Every structure is written in C-alpha cells, then in structure tokens.
Structure 1
Amino acid sequence: MKRICVIGLGDMGSGLAKNLIKAGFDVAGFDLSPDRLAAFEAMGGRPAASVAQAGDGAEAAFVMVMNGDQAKAVILGADGLAAHMAPGGSVLLTATIRPREAVEIGNAMDGTGIHLIDTPVSGGFPGAQGGTLTMMASAPDAIIAQARPAMEAVSATIHHIGTEPGMGQTVKACLQTLIGSIFSATFEASVLAAKAGVKGEHLFKVFSTSGAGCGCTNTALENIIDRKFANTGSGIGTMHKDLTISMDLAEELEVPMQMASTAMQIFHAGKSKYPDGDNWACTRVIEEIVGAELHR
C-alpha cells in the first residue's frame, strides 16, 4: 500500500497527512481551505482540486471531517471516495460521528468494492501532529491487516474493537463522556480554588501528583492557570459536538447520563460565550459568575 489520500486537512487531518508523508506514502489531500492546501503542499503532499481527484486510485483514504453529513458526502457522493478509489481499497473513518451514521455509511458501501474501517481517534492535536493517536478500529481482520501500515504511521496504539461499522464510533462516544466529565470537573475545581484564594501552581502540583492526576486533568488545569483559552489545538466546538453524540446515543439506548449531561451543559455555556475558544474557555464562564480567576 503506497497511495493514500486525506480528506480534511485541519488540525487533525494535517497531522495525519504529515505522518503519512513522513512514513513514505504518496499522499494526496483535499480541503476547502486554500491555505490548508498550500500548507499541505509545502509538507510534500499532492493537493487535489476535489475529493474525487484526491481519491483517484487511492488504496486507503483517511476521512477527517467534522460531522456525519460531511462524511457521507465525501464518501458516498457522486464525486466521493467510494466511486473513485482503487478497487479493494479502504476508507478509514477517523472523524467522530454518530454510530448510526457510520452504520448507514457502511451499509451504503456494500457492493462498491471499497471497505470501511470505522476508526475514530483520540489524542487531539498533539497526538495527530506527533503520530501518537489512539485508534478505535472496527472492521474485519483482513481489512485491518491490509491498512495497518498506514494506520501505524499515524497511531501509537491501535485497538481492534469490533468488525462492524458503528462500533468504533460507539466506543469513542463512551470515551468522550468520560473525558468531557473530567474536563468539566476540573473547570469547576479550578474556580472553587480561585474563589478560595488558592494559587494555581499549588493546585496543579497537588492534582498532578494525586490519584486525580491524568492527561485530561493536567492539560486542562495547566491551560487554565496559564490563561490559555484559545489556539491550543482543542477547539471547544469539537468536544461540544462529541458530547452531543454521546447524549444522542444515550437517548437512543435509554441510558441515564447525569455526569455527561452536566458536562454537556457546561460546554454548551462555554461554546455560547466563547465559540472560537478552546475547551478551557468553559472555565471563564464559571469564573465570570463568581468573580475570581485562577492564575499560576
């Protein structure tokens, strides 16, 4: 497998492309942004004028778009990947969408000769750029084996968690309920500390060396105390969207989700007030209510 394409060259997709190029693949790419295409070309990629052109003859295609409608359009449309990739190739659905949308895409791809690997990722901007993403892949063994060299170029950990479309997205939805809840609890704890007069550096040292310390807690708190609420590679719109997917799945399956629903509202407030901010901007909404800020 040598010829790859990446659809969507934003914070995440650009990282996929960079690491695929670094691994020696011939990588075509498409994005609606001319600036992103120019940056992609500068790193050694082949910019395409359309999804069809990017996918022409590709043996594997990474789809890193924002939502299910976009994924359906670039995979299933008349000028989509399924109609232009090399026979026997695989679409790697690395975007996070609703599980039922992944099922719909998989069903629609039956008979096209193109396979679907439902494999959302975790690790955010640092993981994408560093090639250390965690992948939650669902597809038959043989399909995973065929695409594994490309997957290993962008991921440090590949979990094969099923064979059917939708299973990868389901695991990702469960993961995001946990991450969103950890973030939200960290936001609240930081404001409680600020109101009580605790220094941010003291709080960070205690949290990071206790049982509560983890990548999610540490990253959130460090950005809060350094007052980095934008341009950290963790746009608030993505987590807001992911929690919406989690809550939608919980509604569908009739599972009560008290923590995730609270996190959803915290992120909704943050996105409403700071739509261009990062996840940590949710903290500012709570800080503004109580009139206290946490600094290092």
Structure 2
Amino acid sequence: MTIATPTPHAANYSVAVLGLGAMGLPMATRLASALTVHGFDIAPARLALAADAGITPFDSARSAAHGVDAVLLAVRNGQQLRDVLFGEAGIAGVLTPGAVVIMTSTVGIEDVVSVADRLADAGVQLVDAPLSGGPVRAGQGDLLIVVGAEPSAREKAAPVLDLLASTLSVIGDKAGDGQAFKTVNQLLCGVHIAVAAEALALADSLGLNVESTLATLSAGAAGSFMLANRGPRMLDAYTEDGAEVLSRLDIFVKDMGIVTAAARSFGLATPVAAAAEQVYLLGQASGLAARDDSAVIRVIAPHPSV
C-alpha cells in the first residue's frame, strides 16, 4: 500500500456530485471551496442547501454531469450504480472522454469491474474509492479514502480526492482493488460491532453497570474503535427513538453479504463473518433495518435485563 502524494488543485476543474444527502452535501461543500461543483438531488430542499453552499444546482443528473472533469457517486448497490450510469436517464452518454467517475460506495468487486469495463469503451475511467468517515469529517476533508485505479485515473481524480481525504491510500492500480480492500475492512467492522453487542448484553445480564463496563473495556486490551464508537450508541438502542442513525443496520446486511459471497467465491471459510451476517439479517427481519447499526444489540438481547 502506498500513500498518495497530494496534487495541486486545478483552478478550472469541475466535478458533479450526484446525491446531496448526509454525506453528499458536506463533500460537495468541501469541494466547492476550491473547485467548480455541480450538484443534483431529487429533493428540492437539498438543492437549495447546495446553492447556499456555493454549489451550482441542476435539475437532472445528466445536466449536472455534462462536460465535467469528474463525477462523484455514492450509491447503495451495484444495480443503482448501473442505473445511474447506464439506465434510461443514465449519465454515461454525456460524459466527456477523459473524464473520471469516482465511486465512493461499497458495492462489491464484480460490479465495479464490469462497470469500469463499460465506461472504458466510452473513454471514461472509473476510480474505485470507497471511503470511511461521517458527515462532519467529510465537510472537513478528513476522510479515509482507499483507491484502486490506473495511475492516469488517479491523477485525473486527484483534485477531488486530495480535498476530501486526510488519509489517501492507493491500494492497487485497477478498479476493483478498492472494493477488495473495503470487503476485508467490512468483515472486521461488521464482526466488531456484532461482538461488541454480545459483550455489552452479557455485561448487562451479569448485573454489571454497562456504562462503566464499556468505559473500562475501551481502555484495555479488549477495546476497539467499534466498541468505543458504537458502544455508547448501543446504550441508547432501547429508547423509543433509538440512537441517532449514523449508519443504518441494513448497510451491514449488504456489506456482510458482499464479504461472505467473496469468501465463498474463493472457497474460503469465514465462519465468524457468516455468524455476524446472520445477526444483521435477524435485525433486518425484526424491523431494525433503518435503525442505527448499534441497534444490533437488540437482536442479542431484545430487552435490557433491568
């Protein structure tokens, strides 16, 4: 793995951000501090917020993407990625040869590779750049971004990536390499969240003070980022509204499905990941899909012991 060298931002560089939701708008706002940014969202209120932030709003994805140097996409899955690019109102036909599509989501290796091949036929390169970090960090340019792309594509996308990332790691030279890395990353994240839920549920069942147990665990050898980050939100999981939704539970249904499918394709046993996947599937079946992923504790212990 190598760390990318920052590239000076191009004064006349333009980027279209398609989708101005919780992550899209702060990313677009950050980019607008140095680049020309086109924005599109199906919600008029989000377009109005974008305009206030110095982003030029457009009434369609195709019009926003027309003639830009780069398009920044955050999609839910491979089908949505194909729809945005190649569907009835897809943008691929209006992209200028030499442009890049920067894909920031986790959708799986095969989908990204197949889309990259189709774009290449039109002279457009795909930059596989899954990211980590929430909306606040996105607005501050403090994201972790892992990139898989040809060197020429990385160079073209550098003005965007350099503005958004505090840590920019080049994991490989082709589209799909970023997805491969993120698949490994999500295996660990998904397992860590599920096992944190088990640990806190056990502490509660044993009659321990869960808040002090969490603080002590986080300070010791058993601590992890996910325990420290999701643990406090798990303590709110039993309230009427639950914890603030920062990452939906059904995202890990998708991501753990990508993990286990990838492992099966190589004949690799991942029994711990498979068990975690079932926990998230149970959460989804229990009506927790749209809740914060910390609500997975309610699968382990539907009600607190006290």
Give TM-score scaled by structure 1 length.
Answer: 0.91
For 2:222 and 2:164, locate their aligned partners in 1 and report how far apart those are by CA, in whole Å.
29
- SS of the counterpart of 2:16? strand
From 178, 194, 202, give the equivalent of 1:192. 202
From 251, 254, 263, give the equivalent of 2:267. 254
Q: Which structure 2 residues correspond to residues 1-296 of structure 1 after superposition, within 5 A? A: 1=10, 2-21=13-32, 23-77=33-87, 79-227=89-237, 229-273=242-286, 274-288=288-302, 291-292=304-305
Say if 1:9 and 1:64, in contact at 8 Å, map to a contact too.
Answer: no
Q: Give the aligned residue type for 2:283.
A: G
- SS of the counterpart of 2:301? helix
- SS of the counterpart of 1:288? coil
Deviation, structure 1 residue 268:
1.2
Deviation, structure 1 residue 126:
4.3
Deviation, structure 1 residue 78:
5.6
Say if 2:40 and 2:47, in contact at 8 Å, map to a contact too.
Answer: yes
For 1:244 and 1:108, locate their aligned partners in 2 and report how far apart those are by CA, in whole Å.
25
Q: Sequence identity, in percent? A: 29
Mean CA deviation greater in 151-160 or 38-47:
38-47
For 2:106 and 2:46, locate their aligned partners in 1 and report how far apart those are by CA, in whole Å.
20
Deviation, structure 1 residue 222:
1.4
Give TM-score scaled by structure 2 length.
Answer: 0.89
For 2:132 and 2:267, locate their aligned partners in 1 and report how far apart those are by CA, in whole Å.
26
**RMSD (Å), alpha carbons:** 1.9
Q: Give the aligned residue type for 2:190.
A: G
Say if 2:233 and 2:243, in contact at 8 Å, map to a contact too.
Answer: no
Deviation, structure 1 residue 226:
4.2
For 1:36 and 1:258, locate their aligned partners in 2 and report how far apart those are by CA, in whole Å.
42
For 2:281 and 2:88, locate their aligned partners in 1 and report how far apart those are by CA, in whole Å.
35
Deviations 1:125-178 (CA, angstroms, capped at 9, x unpaired): 444344222111111222212221210111111111111221111111111010
